[in-house]
Structure 1
Amino acid sequence: MTPQKLICFDLEGPLSPQDNAYEVVALIPGGREIFEMISRYDDILALEGREGYEPGDTLALIVPFLIYHGITKEDIRRVSSRAEIVKGAGELVMHLKEDGWDVKIISTSYREHAYSIGSRIGISGEDIACTELNLEDIAAGMREETLSLIGDAVSELLGHRGDEDDMVKFLDRFFFKLLPDTGYGNPLERVRVIGGKRKVDAARMFAEGKGLKLGDIMVVGDSITDCRMLDCVKREGGIAVAFNANRYALPHANFALATLDMRFLDLLCEHFPDKEHMIETVQKWQQTRGIFEHDPGKIPTDLRTRLIDDLIDDLTDAGGFIAPYFHYLEEADKGLMEKVESVHARFREKVRGIASILG
């Protein structure tokens, strides 16, 4: 009997380079600066293990500022419509489906963005777990005193010249003391962001829907919001791939891929679920990668797939080829991990651009 094959992709990074929330907040004065501070605050709370906080809850914390400036769902859709697709992602998804894979998306992104990108690469809404945001409903119940408080917070953040500890103290007080006192409530309860543990829950839900366990599936992620999902799948015997990942995600994966074209992931998918074969393939690739960089025609048949054959032909015809980096991480020492982080940082910046600075 042919084994069932399920793969769950994070969206922002592996499928689309845009950080949609970052671009939406950029519509408001000083928005990027505010988002970067709250994103750093998100990293701090996630890393310290703050009770009730999940990585990616930034998307709940920015909602008061979106409402204060009159941002709507249509604005989110409009920003999303300008988002690019990671090179090769659409072709990979189509190929995987033809090869019998069930393809899902698990994303912190607001629904408007997740569904937009999903529709463009052939993944329907029923196969997407993402963040539901009812902006209009929340805005309708906003009182004048709440809006005034948010306005004061905007001024404070844009004028912030203190150290990181001061920023954390201010945001703690604003989000979890002052804002709830206005009747807005706990911002984390207003919007349930699909990040951290909730990504694990979504992956398990998708797996169980096919009669599988986490150890039977493959997941792909790149940032702090994916750490738990990557780690849980890896620990249960599944395949967790860090794609152009940051320093938070890499230690939680068992495989890593740094590339400009998503189609190279097919080299791992081709051998799933044979983990030992995948390890041998990755190690062989990395030992001879330098040769491929200068002459992709020397890539042997056992390191190719039909999709990768087409990809190499396309890149060669275009006059350029940047060989990807594959790594097996479960036995990686500190030195190798530092090298992998450096490689992924370079590819992450090339693919994600300005969004690469976010955790």
Structure 2
Amino acid sequence: MSILIAFDLEGPLSPQDNAYEIMGRLPQGYELFERLSRYDDLLTLEGRPGYEPGDTLALIVPFLLAYGVKEEDIRAVSRTAFLTPGAKETVAELAALGLPSCIISTSYCQHACRVAWELGLPEDWVACTRLPLNAWQGELTPEDREWILEVARSFLEVPLEDDEALKRLGESFFWEEMPRRAKLGKFFSLVRVVGGTRKTEALTNFARRAGVSLDRVVAVGDSITDFHMLKTVREAGGLSIVFNGNVYSLPYGTCAVASLDLTAILPLIKTFAQEGLAAVRQEIENFSRSSGEGGPFYHWLLDRSPGEEIVSLHVRFRARLRGRAAHLG
């Protein structure tokens, strides 16, 4: 029986956080992105109506415009990204078995489609965030540009751990002041980041195209933007794999895999396709008894919460593969 494998991109398929690296080319860009990412986490955790995890990629758009970033810059940063070890082999083996894959990513399409091409996946099996930066660059007034740069300086003055100050500044800039500036407010509203429930919408559409129900889907994710997709697949009876996940994603997996090579998930997918979920659980129990000191490490999560030991293990593997971007939500 056929199945569909849905991959998050940043983490499982490529270690680079593309938006983070784009911002990193700007003055104190990494630090600014980290504050905006934390603000994104706070909005997600409080359940702000209409806000989705991963909307950081909308939050940074005013700053990209103010610093003159263009679509070519996104592509240039994307070309520096490398694939997660084993990613190409995993996608190729799944294709050889007749098991279709898709990518569902918050990443800007300039990055997501390039990685898909490198993996041999067609663009029409990629859901990503569209960002027509070049068309918008000429619309920004000098006054708007200076105002945004001043706000950037204000964000950088706030300590990263000061959640209350970040919320106050974010509320004022994004939800009070920016809507009053017609063009800026319009640009911000047009960025529809593929995160949270929007990932699940994309997954449902891809499953329909593949002719499978959600209980025949494998979802592979690692972060806060994936939790709704992982949760939906798990509750439907499909297989949700958290690969080197963080504290925001691990509670929503059917199982978790900590590894420096993506091919570690292949045995689970093959078993799920041929024998179903119960056989995957048995395989994980067998693997758990035989895992060496360097991994890979497998954990069944369907009927348990990930404890500190599992979370810490994934944090370590995540840091080894993703470097500085590992701590982002």
Same fold (TM > 0.5):
yes
Structure 2 partner of 1:164: 163
The code of the aligned residue for 2:229 comes to: M
Asked if residue 204 in structure 1 is aligned to residue 204 in structure 2, the reply is: yes
Tell me how far apart the structure 2 counterparts of residues 338 and 36 of structure 1 sit (CA, whole Å). 24
Give 3-state SS (helix, strand or coil) of 2:185's partner.
coil
Please say which of residues 97-106 and 206-215 is displaced more in the overlay.
206-215
Aligned residue among 62, 69, 80 for 2:78: 80
Q: In the alignment, is the contact (CA less than 8 A) between 1:5 and 1:100 conserved in 2?
A: no
2:178 is matched with which residue? Answer: 179
Q: Counterparts of 1:130-169 in structure 2 under 5 Å?
A: 130-161=128-159, 163-169=162-168
**RMSD of aligned residue pairs (Cα, Å):** 1.3
Contact in 2 for aligned 1:57/1:188 (Cα 8 Å): no
Structure 1 consecutive aligned stretches of length 4 or more whose deviation exceeds 3 Å: none
Q: Which residue matches 1:280? A: 282
Cross-structure match for 2:296: 324
Q: Counterpart of 1:105 in 2: which secondary structure? A: strand
| Alignment partner, residue 11 of structure 1 | 9
Contact 1:145 1:182 in 2 (8 A): no
Q: Map 1:117-128 to 2 at 5 A.
A: 117-128=115-126
Q: How does 1:1-359 map to 2 (within 5 A)?
A: 3-161=1-159, 163-183=162-182, 184-185=184-185, 188-273=188-273, 274-289=276-291, 292-293=292-293, 322-333=294-305, 337-359=307-329
Cα distance in 2, alignment partners of residues 214 and 145 from structure 1:
49
Give how far 1:215 is off. Answer: 1.8
Contact 2:62-2:188 within 8 A present in 1 as well: no
Cα deviation 1:283-332 (Å, max 9, x = unaligned) = 1111232xx44xxxxxxxxxxxxxxxxxxxxxxxxxxxx32001100122
- CA shift at 1:186, angstroms? 5.8
Alignment partners' CA distance in 2, 1:187 and 1:252:
33
Q: Encode CA deviations 1:236-287: one digit per residue, 9 max, x unaligned.
A: 1111000000000000111110000111111101111411110000011112
Task: Tell me, in whole angstroms, the C-alpha distance in 1 between the residues paired with 2:268 and 2:94.
Answer: 12
Q: For 1:271, what is the secondary structure of its paired residue?
A: helix
Q: TM-score, normalised by structure 1?
A: 0.88
Equivalent pairs, count: 325
Alignment partner of 2:210: what SS? Answer: coil
Deviations 1:215-252 (A, max 9, x none): 22101000000000000010011110000000000001
Aligned-pair CA distance for 1:138: 2.3
Q: Secondary structure at the match of 1:129?
A: strand
Quote the Cα distance in structure 2 between the aligned partners of 1:262 and 1:355: 18
Structure 1: state its 5+ residue gaps. 294-321
> What is the rounded CA distance, in whole Å, between the counterparts of 1:5 and 1:154 in structure 2?
45
- The structural deviation recorded for 1:339 is 1.3
How far apart are residue 174 of structure 1 and its match?
0.3
Aligned-pair distance for 1:161?
4.7
> Helix, strand or coil: the match of 2:313?
helix
Percent identity over the alignment?
A: 41
| C-alpha displacement of 1:213 | 2.0
The CA distance in 2 between the partners of 1:139 and 1:49, in whole Å, is: 32
Quick check: which has more Rg, 1 or 2? 1
Instruction: Tell me how far 1:90 sits from its aligned partner.
Output: 0.3
Q: What are structure 2's unaligned runs of at least 5 residues?
A: none
Task: Give the aligned partner of residue 307 of structure 1.
Answer: none
Give the residue type in structure 1 aligned to 2:316: R
Task: Specify whether residues 186 and 341 from structure 1 end up closer, same or farther in structure 2 by C-alpha distance, changes over 3 A only.
Answer: farther
Secondary structure in 2 aligned to 1:241? strand
2:315 aligned counterpart, secondary structure? helix
SS of the equivalent of 1:82 reads coil
With 264-273 and 106-115 compared, the bigger mean Cα shift is at 264-273
Q: Which residue identity is paired with 1:255?
A: C
Question: 2:158 and 2:244 mapped to 1: Cα distance?
Answer: 32
In structure 1, distance between residues paired with 2:109 and 2:78:
10
For residues 117-155 of structure 1, the C-alpha deviation after alignment (integer angstroms, 9 at most, x for no partner) is 111111121110000001122222222332222021012
Whether the 8 Å contact between 1:175 and 1:186 is mirrored in structure 2 is no
CA contact (8 A) 1:349 1:356 kept: yes
Return the alpha-carbon distance in structure 1 between the equivalents of residues 42 and 233 of structure 2: 24
Cα separation, 1, equivalents of 2:208 and 2:125: 13
Q: How far 1:187 sits from its partner (Å)?
A: 5.8
Partner Cα distance (1:155, 1:339) in 2: 39
Partner of 1:296: none
Partner of 1:209: helix, strand, or coil?
Answer: helix
